[in-house]
Amino acid sequence: MPILNKDMTLCISLAARPSNIGTRFHNYLYDQLGLNYVYKAFAPADLAQAIAGVRGLPIRGCAVSMPYKEDVIALVDRMDPSAEAISSVNTIVNDDGVLTAYNTDYLAIARLLRDHRVPVTHSVLLRGSGGMAKAVAAALRDAGFSDVTVVARNEATGRALADLYDFAWQAEPGTSTADLLINVTPLGMAGQDEDVQSFGDDAVAGAKTVFDVVALPAETPLIAAARAAGKPVITGAEVIAIQAEEQFVLYTGLRPTPEQVREAGEFSRA
């Protein structure tokens, strides 16, 4: 990484529970490509003031994580179709004070479902109804999945998400299972919920593939239970690497090689 200087371009991330994964990923690639950029994670005390800072400093790019993916919509100038279609933002790009919102989560989910060859005939339990859940639901619908149940304690947001794509809704997992289990909640994330397994052992036993979008840690209780049961898994570490790659391209205009992305992902999790 170059020594901090007045011409350095700053990119940041905003999250309730910041991690070093994105910070290490982006800074690794900046170093590899010789870019005069630096990336820093923040937990904003005031979201509106933070976004005003992005506009005013100016900060080139801003990643947006839970729980701010919907709240930032009112604070930006433009919505790219990737974000507008699902009313959820995970990336903001600043062009001379004009803030444009994108969603690279959708691209990551769609690619992983395809790369892991998850059959579209699979039944799905999708736990969560926030911004990331919207990206997952849209990717499922667009890939051709139809037997999907949104599991969300918040009936208003859960039903709204389910109705948007003609999916089913239920409040709790209960005894339900499905071919594909997807957790899009903070359950299992480092912090107060890190020991919580988002789907029970019976659901895991009945599943064919288990997908947890939580990236910190990548080995959540759900992923650990699925591995122990011999189930194929898709991890949040995979999600964050793909969406971060697309963010990197938006911020810099450069696309790293697959090998550089793989190395950056490994470095970010080391």
In DSSP notation, 135-163 reads: HHHHHHHHHT---EEEE-S-HHHHHHHHH
Give dist(CA 155, CA 37) in Å, integer. Answer: 43
Give dist(CA 166, CA 143) in Å, integer. Answer: 14
The sheet with strand 233-234 has its strands ordered as 168-170, 148-151, 124-127, 180-183, 209-212, 233-234
Select which of 6, 69, 134, 208 is catalytic: 69
Neighbours of 207 (CB within 10 A): 24
Instruction: Look up 69 and say whether it is catalytic.
Output: yes
Give dist(CA 221, CA 225) in Å, integer. Answer: 6
Tell me the catalytic residues: 69
